[in-house]
Structure 1
């Protein structure tokens, strides 16, 4: 783990001065509501206690000097020529600078040191955390007076337009708006949001990383989007008010769509409509502090993702089936785009070690390699480190 103090020490060593500001920006989990974002539906993310820490100061010239402690890499550039880098990680910083530039905000050269403890490749959105830390830091030191939602949109645009990843807004939103012991019920159409209490008490969030990333993921993601859009086009012929699957209900899917589209399109649309309903019922359970009821919705979500949306894989399915057999786990599902990555589990704290050992051993016997286990708690969003 790279602490805020370690990042500050590295900054002083590299630039012979204290940073003007240190910002901490968290990774995120998504409790339920997968593949609903691009269908204008609902998601339920939360910020976690694993973050990117960024130390920053202004320069008197137009040069950009970045140091990434985790990668043991440096980058040098100039604000007059913001280009993509073969190292990739500088793109998330330069993308934010490019967006600010296009919006007319002025800034000079920068010294930046960054590091953190968000596990790489686990689907916890370290890229969104980095983008949020950069836009937040510049907003502070240059006094742009940007509201948080505008910073979220700039961070998302950096990833969409500069980095070239067509992500939705959930990752950046969760990182910026996170609240301790709360999840965020986010409406991906209106961007209205509500904090939902998530007091885990004797439970914790356990992520089991398959360490699998199938090459299908990016292409199949686009296929799923097109299948959902095909369903919407079919529904609009009868229900003109349906602009996205967000506007559809179960009756429309069962009594109209089923007869006019291929089975695969029907399955995709059925999953999205049911997932939006599951999320809302799950939020009601959390409001009642019924964590067990919420966990049942997580298991149901995985079944839908695996059987109807077809974005799971044998490794993810195996981990969720193991979770169903563990009395200490009250809910589990795959998290993220699919075809690999993590399962998210709500587990009783006192049983974590023995459950992880049992699941890891079973997984190794089946697939020849152990998954990685990460324990998370729910944290606040992007913020300046006190005293920096």
Structure 2
């Protein structure tokens, strides 16, 4: 955790508001494997990482809500909680959405002050928005004595994103930020919300993200199309197998038996999702066995499926994964997130990280003429209070 950032946020709060706040750390997340499975009722395998948002929050004794985006040096104010509604200030909406969700759960909001800032790169697919939502939800839950449990806070944060940010996200990002554990990944069943922790040896492998630096305009429309294609597949299967409520329930044998009826595209979309769920389960077994090389093979297979069957990769991501395969000390690599840009996630032996970054950066520059930005991360615990460190 960045002690200097905690100190800066704490000082900013004290200088502006003149009293002692509660300090909270809310991490971003990565998803090691399990892509496009969440909205199909499947499995994901995220972890909280050491890129984070830091919050200083306090009750001010009045009715005003005063928000400060430390990194942007911007402020937003409301005279009272009764005035909470969608605003023209983009960053404030993530926080206001949380307040509105707490109000819907009959939590009486008092006037509060909040300063926040962070180290999560924006647009890298590490869920800065979820960290912002979860950090404030955690702080207000504590300060107001609302008594909501972590899963309820995840729902508060998710609904805030749906209603105030207009993004119909699954619950994985908020869940990972709140439920992360040091040195462990968490397998979440997106249908039942059951979850289980698996060991991840942070000494044996670093997580390196390679940011392609591109975001193709296809991303959002293709995402909606993929959802519809999966739903179409489920509708066909249901006629033959009434128990199939989502692709989570489908088998490869069932898909194969109705391949003609599904048509080539829908068949490939559905078979990717069914195989990806199997890969998540296999990946968890590899972690229990301490076999990072086998885990990495599941990641490569995941990327190939996303590229060829789900068709949400792009040239930049494919070049990065191929370059990773050729680099020393790499266990596995794949695109992470919705696709058509964003980052690849790579598991790299610590002693090879510098060499890995140099060789993949060189390949990216040589093949596409693009400069590569990378982030080294490690797995940490979820949202929590931070002790105030007084520096002399």
**How high is the TM-score relative to the length of structure 2?**
0.96
1:270 — aligned with what?
271
CA deviation after TM superposition for structure 1 residue 359, in Å? 1.1
Contact persistence 1:286–1:294 (CA under 8 A): yes
Residue 178, structure 1, aligned to residue 180, structure 2: yes
Structure 1 gap segments, 5+ residues each? none
Residue 300, structure 1, aligned to residue 313, structure 2: no
CA deviation after TM superposition for structure 1 residue 200, in Å? 3.0
Picking from 215, 222, 225, the partner of 1:223 is 225
1:235 — aligned with what?
237
2:89 — aligned with what?
87
CA deviation after TM superposition for structure 1 residue 161, in Å? 1.6
Residue 29, structure 1, aligned to residue 14, structure 2: no
Residue 140, structure 1, aligned to residue 145, structure 2: no
Q: Deviations over 1:307-346 (max 9, x none)?
A: 0000001000000011111231110000000000000000
In structure 1, C-alpha distance between the alignment counterparts of 2:20 and 2:122, rounded to whole Å:
28
Partner-residue secondary structure (3-state), 1:26: strand
1:282 — aligned with what?
283
Contact persistence 2:328–2:356 (CA under 8 A): no
Partner-residue secondary structure (3-state), 1:3: helix
Tell me whether 71-80 or 47-56 shows the greater mean CA deviation.
Answer: 71-80
Partner-residue secondary structure (3-state), 2:240: coil
Q: Deviations over 1:66-91 (max 9, x none)?
A: 11111121111242111323331111
In structure 1, C-alpha distance between the alignment counterparts of 2:316 and 2:88, rounded to whole Å:
32
2:342 — aligned with what?
341
Tell me whether 79-88 or 344-353 shows the greater mean CA deviation.
Answer: 79-88
Contact persistence 1:62–1:80 (CA under 8 A): no
1:315 — aligned with what?
316
Instruction: Give the RMSD, CA atoms, in angstroms.
Output: 1.1
Q: Deviations over 1:223-251 (max 9, x none)?
A: 00000000000000000000000000110
Partner-residue secondary structure (3-state), 1:199: coil
Tell me whether 124-133 or 73-82 shows the greater mean CA deviation.
Answer: 73-82
2:379 — aligned with what?
378
Picking from 232, 252, 260, the partner of 1:250 is 252
Residue 102, structure 1, aligned to residue 117, structure 2: no
CA deviation after TM superposition for structure 1 residue 53, in Å? 0.5
Contact persistence 2:49–2:378 (CA under 8 A): yes
CA deviation after TM superposition for structure 1 residue 18, in Å? 1.8
2:43 — aligned with what?
42
Q: Deviations over 1:146-166 (max 9, x none)?
A: 111111111111101222100
In structure 2, C-alpha distance between the alignment counterparts of 1:201 and 1:58, rounded to whole Å:
41
Contact persistence 2:335–2:343 (CA under 8 A): yes
Give the count of matched residue pairs. 386
CA deviation after TM superposition for structure 1 residue 387, in Å? 4.2
1:368 — aligned with what?
369
